[in-house]
Amino acid sequence: MPEGDTIFRAAQTMQRALGGRTVLSFESVYPALVRVHAQTPVSGRTVEEVSARGKHLLITFSGGLVLRTHMRMHGSWHLYRPGERWRLPAREMRVHLVTDTFVAVAFNVPDAEFIEAAALSRHPVLRELGPDLLAASFDSEEVLRRVRADAGLPIAEVLLNQRVVAGIGNVFKSEILFGARVNPFAAAGSLDDDTLRRVLEVARRQLRSNVASRRQRLTPAFGRRTTGSLHPSKGLWVYGRAGEPCRTCGTPIRLHKGGKDARLTYWCPACQP
């Protein structure tokens, strides 16, 4: 599943390509989107803004209409020049909009809907999202309050709850907790405020670093790095490295599969006791 940095970069790239452009045509395989387009056409509207909210990508059109998409496990947005060959087959297209300079295609996106802009703050999913780690107005104290509501759960599981804090996925979960030297299985309620603030500081630093330093296509993220190293094989501290030596102390990295959706957790038992 794309994580917050991936969606944020996708929104930035799409904003540069589509912002201020008029939609020439729109189509979708989803009947609900087609009905809205038939009643109040997207064609002729201007793309006012493309933005990210956690793992949700929002395209705001003139006239107060917003397209919300969520990539889930396999979805992605692609940008093409008119007439350029698509990198994925047309049967995987879910949403397709055309401007004079770019074509935007959502492939395998399972979650898409139109929302009135005035109703965004009342949207049942968006309104429950925790503070966005990549937002300029990030509220760490609000995150601490939400963490305390899940005090009995492992901190690794709490970080994945988008209602607590928005933007962390499975890769960053393991990387952040290693960076903060926190055991992923410690109950959230057992961690003091200073420790939780350190976790959030590491989370903000890692996500923002991956947003600021990389220019990539809108296909699923590759080359994500948290170590600061540019070496192709040294990008991550622990994720995907079960059995390999810790880059800090040499202890073999361990792997646990469990929790909701049997997620993988990587950690160093020496650095994260």
For residue 55, indicate whether it is catalytic. Answer: yes
Over residues 135-175, the pLDDT tens digits come to: 888 999 999 999 999 999 999 999 999 999 998 999 999 99
Catalytic residue, candidates 48, 55, 131, 173: 55
Task: List the beta bridge partners of residue 28.
Answer: 95
133 is a domain residue: no
108 is a domain residue: yes
CB-count exposure of residue 165 (10 Å: 0-12, 13-18, 19+):
buried
Of 108, 128, 148, the last residue of a domain is 128
Q: What is the pLDDT of residue 64?
A: 97
Residues 56, 173 share a domain? no
Asked if the model's pLDDT at residue 120 lies above 60, the reply is: yes
Residues 167, 83 share a domain? no
For residue 41, indicate whether it is catalytic. Answer: no
The amino acid at residue 183 is N
Over residues 226-260, the pLDDT tens digits come to: 998 878 788 999 999 999 999 999 999 999 998 66
The CATH number covering residue 262 comes to 1.10.8.50
Catalytic residue, candidates 3, 48, 157, 175: 3
Q: What is the pLDDT of residue 220?
A: 40
Residues 215, 121 share a domain? no
> E-assigned strands of 25-179?
25-28, 47-53, 56-61, 65-70, 76-80, 93-98, 103-107, 111-116
Quick check: pTM over 0.85? no
CA distances from 78 to 47, 222, 254 (A): 16, 15, 36
Residues 154, 263 share a domain? yes
Q: What is the pLDDT of residue 106?
A: 98
Residues 181, 97 share a domain? no
Residues 197, 94 share a domain? no
Residues 156, 123 share a domain? no
Residues 114, 157 share a domain? no
For the chain, what is the domain count? 2
120 is a domain residue: yes
Q: What is the pLDDT of residue 3?
A: 77
Asked if the model's pLDDT at residue 211 lies above 90, the reply is: no
The domain of 191 spans 140-267
Of 128, 159, 188, the last residue of a domain is 128
Residues 158, 207 share a domain? yes
The mean per-residue pLDDT over the stretch 34-46 comes to 97
Q: What is the pLDDT of residue 267?
A: 98
Residues 250, 147 share a domain? yes
Catalytic residue, candidates 2, 131, 154, 184: 2
134 is a domain residue: no
For residue 184, indicate whether it is catalytic. Answer: no
163 is a domain residue: yes
215 is a domain residue: yes
Of 106, 128, 150, the last residue of a domain is 128
Residues 65, 103 share a domain? yes
The CATH number covering residue 66 comes to 3.20.190.10
Residues 90, 199 share a domain? no
The mean per-residue pLDDT over the stretch 64-89 comes to 95
